[in-house]
Amino acid sequence: MAQIELGLDTFGDITDGPDGQPLHAAQVIRNLIDEAVLADEAGVDFIGVGEHHRADFAVSSPEMVLATIAGRTKRIRLGSAVTVLSSDDPIRVYQRFATLNAASNGRAEVILGRGSFIESFPLFGFDLNKYEELFNEKLDLYAAVLKQESVTWQGATRPPLKNQSVYPKLDAPLTTWIGVGGTPESVMRAAHYGFPMMLAIIGGDPKRFAPYVDLYKRALGEMKKPELPIGVHSHGYIAETDAQAREDLFADYKRMRDKIGAERGWPPFGKAEFEREIEGGSLYVGSPQTVARKIAGTVQALGAARFDMKYSAGPLSHDKMMRCIELYGRKVAPMVREMVG
């Protein structure tokens, strides 16, 4: 098994400043760039920036933020978490990330998904009733463009293409993952196109995703495709001690969770659920030793090649996130690599 990759994800959550008031989105973006620079210096392998179109997240154009990060970093890989392909143009998605790949000397990645929010559909004039059809067709076109050949393609959601060339051409591979939230259809889609699978595990025991891993591997074998990496994306936070990490995170995580939950009809998030998710679920919260052991357990149980921890959590402060990043890169990552061999 190749060395495990340890990454970080952020959605550019609108954080509170020292006065307890929400920061302007512009300042959040500047802080996010500083966080990525620190991640690079601390030895983190990947930074993922999510795309959202709502007031509680600052980033609507991950590629622009990632391009800025590229100019200030040396080695960290740069990607989306996720790119909402259903409401975008697959050719422009390819072009933007191919450009980022060139500018960063081959460090760009794309994680394509449908996203868990729907604000982009009315914003860009797409019919939410065509949720599945839009993603399926656009993924098919993106996969065709990625082959670096002239594209002839026809579908129902956009005009056809005939012998169209798409530029710029790649001089280094553009790694493309499919974000999977937990449906067999999504797993089979990733296998069909021969893309690595990124599992978004945001609640419950991560081992419950083992059947999806098995399905993915079986499907690749039956389709005569090579073995491909599997990644895991989950929430987490690190402080010097378990108690400090829980104390730092709970109030801010609850604010984020309850805001989204109110829109989706979820009950308020309580301390007991918080503790359960830390002990046996998908919250990776605690000291470096505690978090490293839990990541290693998940990686080994699912055969994952990468683990990406979403370190931002609603209004959680920039200073706390910076300390978390430092501990993740300098302490957690080396311990995980040693534990999984």
**pLDDT tens profile 216-273:** 999 999 999 999 999 999 999 999 999 999 999 999 999 999 999 999 999 999 999 9
Q: Any bridge partners for residue 47, and if so which?
A: 8, 78
pLDDT of residue 116: 78
Model pTM score: 0.96
Average pLDDT, the chain: 96
Tens of pLDDT, residue by residue over 267-319, are: 999 999 999 999 999 999 999 999 999 999 999 999 999 999 999 999 999 99
Reported residue count of the chain is 341
- CA–CA separation, 19 and 22 (whole Å): 9
> Is residue 114 scored above 90 in pLDDT?
no
User: For 86, left (φ over 0), alpha (ψ -120 to 50), or beta?
Assistant: alpha
Closest by alpha carbon to 74, among 34, 40, 36?
A: 40
Q: Estimate the share of the chain in helix, then strand, then coil, as percent rounded to the nearest 5.
A: 50, 20, 35
**Separation CA 335–CA 42 (nearest Å):** 14
Confidence of residue 1 (pLDDT cuts 50, 70, 90): low
Provide the pLDDT confidence category of residue 176 given band limits of 50, 70 and 90: very high
* Per-residue pLDDT at 78: 98
pLDDT band at 77 (very low <50, low <70, confident <90, very high): very high
What's the mean pLDDT in 35-41? 98
- Cβ–Cβ under 8 Å, residues 284 and 235: yes
Model confidence band, residue 334 (pLDDT cutoffs 50, 70, 90): very high
pLDDT > 70: percent of the chain: 100
